[in-house]
Amino acid sequence: MDPRKLVSCLDFRYITDVLTEEEAYEILQKGQVGKKEREEQMLAHGYPAYTTSCAWLGYSDTTLKQLCSKALEDGWTRFKVKVGADLQDDIRRCRLIRNMIGPEKTLMMDANQRWDVPEAVEWVAKLAEFKPLWIEEPTSPDDILGHATISKALVPLGIGVATGEQCHNRVIFKQLLQAKALQFLQIDSCRLGSVNENLSVLLMAKKFDIPVCPHAGGVGLCELVQHLIIFDFISVSASLKDRMCEYVDHLHEHFKYPVIIKKASYMPPKDAGYSTEMKEESVKKHQYPDGEVWEKLLAAQGN
């Protein structure tokens, strides 16, 4: 879309103190330079992804090792581990994963809003030896200043703060950026509610020079977000530095146009649309209360 027309689709209310319509237009105009080459790069190599499928809390060491080994065989170089339930268990699991993937591969940590602010700083400091690129959602997603405090405290350790999957509008992201509360911005294609709202956040992130590393997984989130992140590279950020998109190998079989992952990268979708049309058979089976899945669950409860 022409940059001027694209800008006309965005709502700049409440964010003009950090991004004006003219600034957004200038960003998109600059994004026209080298656009064709970046399109070709995406078609040839795809957008880099990271895996969250290996190291959920509650996995046994055996399962963790098996999944990690399989991911390494499949070419994954970026791994995320869940933390926050028990410090000693976190240390043991992070050591196990770091030993498996080696020092050169990228490790991220995700606390899923587990800690208070002082606790987050203290806990992450004790995990710093494993060289995580970021700690994700270390505290309440609504606590902008808390994230800023954690972010400032972790700078000497070389650990960034990542957040955004729970942020529901451009104003929250504006404040996170203003407060220097994150080093990695994680849009969620559904939480923000529209393509338009996501685009305004991509443009603000570009203005602040903060990499966008979207949240995905769930039911169709990978399918949705691939469009946004590939657009970001081609037309907005023009950079892959410190940028990657989450991938979870889960529930893609229910979609008519599932994501295509090759060599740990999202390959650009070729079909028209937003890639989230579900198979009629899957919808029918999961409809409440008459679908086959629900009938079995309800019958089991009745027994």
Output the pTM of the full model: 0.95
Higher pLDDT, 302 or 139: 139
201 and 185 Cβ atoms separated by less than 8 Å: yes
Residue 215 known to be catalytic: yes
pLDDT-derived band at 264, boundaries 50, 70, 90 = very high
10-36 burial string, b = 16+ CB within 10 Å, else e?
beeeebeebbeeebbbebbeebeeeee
Residue 284 known to be catalytic: no
Encoded tokens for 52: 């969250």
The model's pLDDT over 156-207, given as tens digits with 9 standing for 90+, comes to 999 999 999 999 999 999 999 999 999 999 999 999 988 999 999 999 999 9
Confidence check: pLDDT of 302 > 90: no
Distances (CA, A) of 19 to 1, 180, 183, 211, 234: 20, 16, 18, 17, 20
3-277 carries CATH number 3.20.20.120? yes
The model's pLDDT over 86-118, given as tens digits with 9 standing for 90+, comes to 999 999 999 999 999 999 999 999 999 999 999
Q: How large is the average pLDDT for residues 250-256?
A: 94
Residue length of the chain: 303
The dihedral of CA 284, 286, 290, 295: what is its sign? positive
Q: Could you state, in order of their start, the residue ranges of all structural domains in the chain?
A: 3-277
Confidence check: pLDDT of 294 > 80: yes
Q: 109, 246, 107, 115: which is closest to 187 by C-alpha?
A: 246
110 and 80 Cβ atoms separated by less than 8 Å: yes
Beta bridge partners of 246: 50
Task: Please identify which of the residues 82, 174, 206, 227 carries the catalytic annotation.
Answer: 82
Q: How buried is residue 226: exposed, middle or buried, by Cβ count under 10 Å (0-12/13-18/19+)?
A: buried
Task: Please identify which of the residues 80, 174, 206, 215 carries the catalytic annotation.
Answer: 215
Encoded tokens for 35: 């656009």
pLDDT averaged over the chain? 96
The model's pLDDT over 115-150, given as tens digits with 9 standing for 90+, comes to 999 999 999 999 999 999 999 999 999 999 999 999
Three-class SS string for the chain? CCHHHHHCCCCCCCCCCCCCHHHHHHHHHHCCCCHHHHHHHHHHHCEEEEEEEEECCCCCHHHHHHHHHHHHHCCCCEEEEECCCCHHHHHHHHHHHHHHHCCCCEEEEECCCCCCHHHHHHHHHCCHHHCCCEEECCCCCCCHHHHHHHHHHHHHHCCEEEECCCCCCHHHHHHHHHCCCCCEECCCCCCCCCHHHHHHHHHHHHHHCCCECCCCCCCCHHHHHHHHHHHHHHHHHCCCCCCCEEECCCCHHHECCCCEEECCEEECCCCCCCCCCECHHHHHHHCCCCCHHHHHHHHHHHC
Tally of CB atoms within 10 A around 82: 20
Q: How large is the average pLDDT for residues 15-44?
A: 98
Q: 251, 260, 274: which is closest to 46 by C-alpha?
A: 260
Confidence check: pLDDT of 303 > 80: no
